[in-house]
């Protein structure tokens, strides 16, 4: 049974408010709202991406990696998810995964300078 229009609107409103909290640099509050939205719309890539950003900004890199990995699993060509997973993997000490995902991000979006710089930092650190 799929959620009705009210639930989708509620999930969207939670996502919108959570995204605003993230933009306003309140990642803890953002994570609370976004987790509620994710409970209503499990697997929704936009919510998972925002949650990954929130947890990364909170310093919870393992949870951020889980959120980005869920996107990559569902959509292997999601370049930003590879980028987030690569950065998160680097922060938790998994250099192999960090290089793999950052290389994939660069491969999928070769003109993105942020991806290139992140990959260069991880490769130089090895």
Each residue's pLDDT tens digit, 33-66: 999 999 999 999 999 999 999 999 999 999 999 9
Q: Which of 34, 58, 82 is the last residue of a domain?
A: 58
pTM: 0.90
On whether both 66 and 117 belong to a single domain, the answer is yes
- The residue among 39, 58, 77 that closes a domain is 58
Q: Which long-range contacts (CB under 8 A, 24 or more apart) does 97-101 make?
A: 98/122, 99/123, 99/126, 101/72
Helix (H, G, I), strand (E, B) or coil at 84: helix
Cβ-based neighbours of 49, under 8 Å, separated by 6 or more = 67, 68, 71, 80, 81, 84
Over residues 15-36, the pLDDT tens digits come to 999 999 999 999 999 999 999 9
Residue 81, domain extent: 61-126
Question: What was the pLDDT predicted at 38?
Answer: 97
Here the tokens at position 103 are 């290389």
> Is residue 3's pLDDT more than 60?
no
Q: Are residues 104 and 87 in the same domain?
A: yes
Q: Are residues 32 and 66 in the same domain?
A: no
């Amino acid at each position: 049974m799929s959620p009705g229009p009210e639930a989708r609107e509620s999930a969207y409103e939670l996502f919108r408010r959570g995204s605003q909290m993230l933009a306003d640099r309140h990642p803890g509050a953002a994570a609370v709202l976004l987790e509620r939205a994710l409970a209503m719309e499990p697997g929704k890539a936009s919510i998972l991406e925002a949650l990954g950003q929130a947890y990364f900004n909170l310093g919870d890199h393992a949870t951020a990696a889980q959120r980005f990995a869920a996107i990559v699993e569902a959509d292997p060509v999601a370049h930003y998810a590879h980028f987030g997973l690569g950065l998160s993997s680097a922060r938790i000490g998994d250099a192999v995964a960090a290089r793999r995902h950052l290389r994939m991000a660069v491969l999928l979006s070769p003109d993105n300078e942020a991806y290139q710089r992140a990959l260069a930092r991880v490769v130089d650190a090895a």
